[in-house]
């Protein structure tokens, strides 16, 4: 197999930069195409790649389709990018695919909304995403100053907006990012990219379950089918092609607002579905998510939370829980990654599921709602969801559409992801399978609202240079 060219791949593919507690995501509009290309060419040398260590700080850059056009890329190469990336996230079709309806409709987005909407960085002007990471606030300030002046100093780019996730918790262990706003340990299950060396540390179930072909996340390498995912290109010398996509990938950013108070209310209201003991609330919340607050999977410990299993990710459903009596069939993590339960034969099921994996790099934003809060403080908080995949349709959109939002998932009738979904106005349904028969929780409300989103392309370093016209 072709060796993975780590030095050409942006570092975000390999790491969530857990040591970098501060992050800023900056949106820019191209003001001067020539200047912007020059800026991009210089930036290519500073970009954090997968070969070097993370150093004092990390910098990555991604572009939208409009951004590539604004840089002056010709229509022909522009049309070689993946269709969802070309079309953007706000078309009526993609709204249906992603479930961005009702309060999550793009017209209401804070950024990335359709042209003419109230978005601060509307789709047509959102061109460049600069991702900056630093270990602490001081380092971030100086990095931010330096990068901002390089980008806008000579009028190459116009700054539109900055997203600022919360600093990571002070103690980080085993690369864990800590806890999202609803109180669950997050980022527990990630695919492991073949060829990164990370797969050698895994054995047995872990290796089989989570190692995914390089080409699923990095363009230019064989994907899960052993084929090359179509990659964008530039016309090269002698009527050849320059592979613009190689070592690049597609990046999805979505700002997901979480109604923490609403979630807690609902858990309190519906906890009776799963019993009337003291643990009922925690158990109901775990049923919705599929993991206990600690991260311990219900499939492994169905009765109560077990912190010793918090990082356990080597489990499946087919053998221990085929009917959802431990982890409900419609629970969030079972929808987002059904593991070995997608086909009658386990090994095949894993292979099929692994054709639809995403690499997540989310960070939370907004202050946490205190545990003792009795009413909503109306402060916005949530998750800046970032994920990567080489094939947006088969990976990110598939997970969203065919698994999370699909009312018919796993033989169910009319329910959606209980955490992410937008239930109908009369309230959503959630079935908790059990013995002797299932319990249905009714009246689920919407807790997660999309506040912005866009598809980006995260080029390889050579790709950046090509775009800058310096290849």
Partner 1 sequence: MIGSSVRQSPAVSGTAEAVPGVRRAKDTTPRRRSPSLAARLANNAFLLRLLARPLRRFAPVLSIGRVVLVSRHADVLDVLERDGDFTIAEVNAATMDRIDGPFILGMDRSEQFTRERTILQSCVHPSDSERIRTFVAATAAQLVGAAATQGRIDVVQDLARPAATRLVASYFGVPGPDEVTMMRWMRVLFWEAFLNSGGDLAVRLCGEQAAAALHAYLDELIAAERAGLDRGGEGRDTLLTRLITAQADPATRLSDEGVRRNIAGVVVGAVDTTSKATAHAVDQLLRHDGALQAAQRAARDGDVQVVAEYTFEALRFNPLNPALVRHVARDAVIAEGTRHRRQVPAGHTVYAAVLPAMFDSAAFDDPNTFRHDRRPAADLNFGYGMHSCFGLYVNRIQIPELVAALLRCDGLRRAPGRQGRMVYEGPFPDRLLVDVAGPVPTGRAV
Partner 2 sequence: MRQAAFTILTPVLPGHCTALSELLTSIGDAVVDDQRLGLSGLDRLHYASFSILPGGEGPRLAFEGNIDGSPSAFLENLLDVSASAIDDVYSHCAGYPPLADGDREPTLRYLLDRDIGADTFFVAWPGHSLDMIRREDELRRWIQDFLDEPEQASLRRSDPENVHRAVVEAVRDDPSIRWALEAEPLPFLVRHPRTVLVLLAAPALAGLVAIVVAAARRGTARRPARLFLATVAAAAAGALARLRAAELADDHRERSRTTDWETVYTAWSKNLSQFRHREDAKGQNHLTSIADIKPGLFRFVTLRTVLAVIRAVATLSPVRGQLGGITSIHFARWVITPDRRLIFLSNFDGSWENYLGDFVDLAARGLTAVWTNTHNDVGFPHTTWLVEQGARDEARFKAFARRGMEPTLLWYSAYPGLSVANISNNRAIREGLRRPQDAGGTEAWLRRL
Residues binding partner 2 (CB under 8 A): 79-80, 83, 91-93, 96-97, 223, 225, 227-230, 323, 343, 352, 355, 393-394, 397-398, 401-402, 406-408, 411, 413-414, 433, 435-440
Tokens of 5: 């060219």
345 contacts partner 1 (rule: CB under 8 A): no
Q: Residue 238 region, left (φ>0) first, then alpha (ψ -120 to 50), else beta?
A: left
- Within its chain, how far is the Cα of 236 from the centroid? 33
H or E stretch at 85: helix 83-87
402 CB contacts (<8 Å, ≥6 apart)?
356, 409
Q: Rounded to 5 degrees, what angle do the CA atoms 459, 138, 171 make?
A: 80
Task: Encode 442-470: b = buried (16+ Cβ within 10 Å), e = exposed.
Answer: eebebbbbbbbbbbbbbbbbbbbbbbbee
Nearer to partner 1, 22 or 340 (CB): 340
325 contacts partner 1 (rule: CB under 8 A): yes
Interaction partner, residue 417 (partner 2, partner 1, none; CB < 5-8 Å by kind): none
Give min distance, CB of 442 to partner 1, in A.
16
Binding mask of the shown chain, residues 158 to 187, with x at each position contacting partner 1 by CB under 8 A: ----------------x-------------
Using CB under 8 A, pick the residue from 1, 320, 373, 379 that binds partner 1: 320
Tokens of 138: 């001081």
Interaction partner, residue 258 (partner 1, partner 2, none; CB < 5-8 Å by kind): none
Q: What span, in angstroms and rounded, lies between the C-alpha atoms of 285 and 264? A: 9
**How many residues of this chain bind partner 1 (CB under 8 A)?**
39
434 contacts partner 1 (rule: CB under 8 A): yes
Nearer to partner 1, 262 or 302 (CB): 302
Q: Of 62, 180, 80, nearest to 126 (Cα)?
A: 62
Q: Rounded to 5 degrees, what angle do the CA atoms 120, 456, 117 make?
A: 25
Interaction partner, residue 301 (partner 1, partner 2, none; CB < 5-8 Å by kind): partner 1
Residues 445, 266: contact at Cβ < 8 Å? Answer: yes
Within residues 239-298, the interface with partner 1 by CB under 8 A covers 274-275, 277, 280, 283, 287
Q: Residue 83 region, left (φ>0) first, then alpha (ψ -120 to 50), else beta?
A: alpha
Give min distance, CB of 195 to partner 1, in A.
14
H or E stretch at 129: strand 128-134
Interaction partner, residue 268 (partner 1, partner 2, none; CB < 5-8 Å by kind): none
309 contacts partner 1 (rule: CB under 8 A): yes
- Within its chain, how far is the Cα of 170 from the centroid? 23
Give min distance, CB of 17 to partner 1, in A.
22
Q: Rounded to 5 degrees, what angle do the CA atoms 122, 46, 360 make?
A: 55
Q: Of 360, 359, 356, 324, nearest to 341 (Cα)?
A: 324
Using CB under 8 A, pick the residue from 305, 397, 415, 417 that binds partner 1: 305
Interaction partner, residue 2 (partner 2, partner 1, none; CB < 5-8 Å by kind): none
Nearer to partner 2, 16 or 191 (CB): 191
Nearer to partner 1, 82 or 441 (CB): 441
Tokens of 27: 């949106």
Nearer to partner 2, 257 or 335 (CB): 335
CA trace torsion 429, 399, 80, 126 (10° rounding): 60
Nearer to partner 1, 326 or 360 (CB): 326
Give min distance, CB of 244 to partner 2, in A.
13
304 contacts partner 1 (rule: CB under 8 A): yes
Interaction partner, residue 355 (partner 2, partner 1, none; CB < 5-8 Å by kind): partner 2
> Could you give phi then psi for residue 285, rounded to 5 degrees?
-60, -40
Residues 466, 244: contact at Cβ < 8 Å? Answer: yes
Within residues 196-225, the interface with partner 1 by CB under 8 A covers 203-208
Residues at the contact surface with partner 1, assessed by CB under 8 A? 174, 203-208, 274-275, 277, 280, 283, 287, 299-309, 311-312, 314-316, 319-320, 325-326, 347, 432-435, 439
């Amino acid at each position: 197999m072709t060796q993975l060219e780590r030095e050409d791949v942006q570092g975000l593919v390999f790491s969530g930069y857990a040591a970098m507690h501060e992050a800023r995501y900056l949106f820019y509009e191209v003001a001067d195409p020539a200047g912007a290309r020059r800026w991009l060419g210089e930036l290519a040398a500073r970009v954090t790649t997968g070969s070097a260590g993370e150093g004092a700080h990390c910098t990555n850059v991604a572009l939208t389709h409009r951004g590539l056009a604004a840089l002056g890329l010709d229509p022909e190469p522009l049309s070689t990018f993946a269709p969802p990336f070309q079309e953007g996230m706000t078309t009526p079709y993609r709204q249906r695919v992603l479930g961005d309806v009702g309060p999550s409709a793009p017209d209401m987005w804070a950024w990335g909304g359709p042209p003419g909407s109230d978005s601060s960085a509307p789709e047509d002007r959102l061109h460049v995403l600069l991702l900056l990471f630093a270990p602490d606030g001081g380092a971030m300030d100086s990095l931010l100053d330096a990068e901002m002046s390089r980008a806008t100093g000579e009028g190459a780019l116009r700054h539109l907006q900055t997203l600022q996730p919360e600093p990571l918790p002070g103690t980080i262990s085993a690369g864990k990012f800590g806890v999202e706003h609803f109180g669950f340990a997050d980022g527990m299950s990630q695919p492991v990219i073949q060829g990164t060396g990370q797969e050698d540390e895994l054995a047995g179930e872990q290796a089989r379950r989570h190692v995914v072909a390089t080409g699923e996340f990095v363009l230019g390498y064989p994907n899960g089918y052993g084929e090359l995912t179509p990659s964008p290109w530039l016309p090269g010398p002698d009527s050849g092609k320059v592979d613009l996509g190689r070592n690049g990938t597609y990046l999805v950013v979505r700002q997901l607002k979480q109604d923490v108070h609403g979630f807690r209310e609902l858990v309190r209201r519906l906890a009776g579905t799963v019993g009337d003991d003291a643990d009922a609330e925690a158990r109901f919340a775990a049923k919705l998510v599929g993991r206990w607050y600690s991260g311990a999977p219900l499939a492994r410990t169905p009765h109560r939370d077990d912190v010793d299993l918090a990082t356990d990710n080597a489990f499946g459903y087919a053998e221990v829980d085929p009917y959802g009596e431990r982890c409900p069939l419609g629970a969030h993590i079972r929808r987002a990654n059904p593991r070995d339960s997608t086909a009658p034969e386990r090994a095949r099921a894993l292979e099929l599921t692994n054709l639809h994996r995403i690499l997540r790099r989310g960070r939370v934003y907004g202050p946490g709602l205190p545990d003792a809060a009795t009413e909503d403080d109306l402060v916005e908080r949530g998750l800046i969801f970032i994920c990567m995949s080489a094939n947006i349709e088969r990976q990110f959109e598939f997970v969203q559409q065919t698994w999370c939002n699909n009312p018919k998932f796993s033989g169910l009738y009319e329910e959606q992801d209980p955490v992410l979904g937008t239930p109908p106005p009369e309230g959503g349904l959630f079935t908790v399978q059990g013995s002797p028969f299932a319990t249905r929780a009714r009246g689920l409300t919407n807790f997660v609202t999309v506040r912005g989103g866009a598809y980006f392309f995260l080029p390889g370093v050579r790709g950046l240079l090509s775009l800058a016209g310096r290849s």
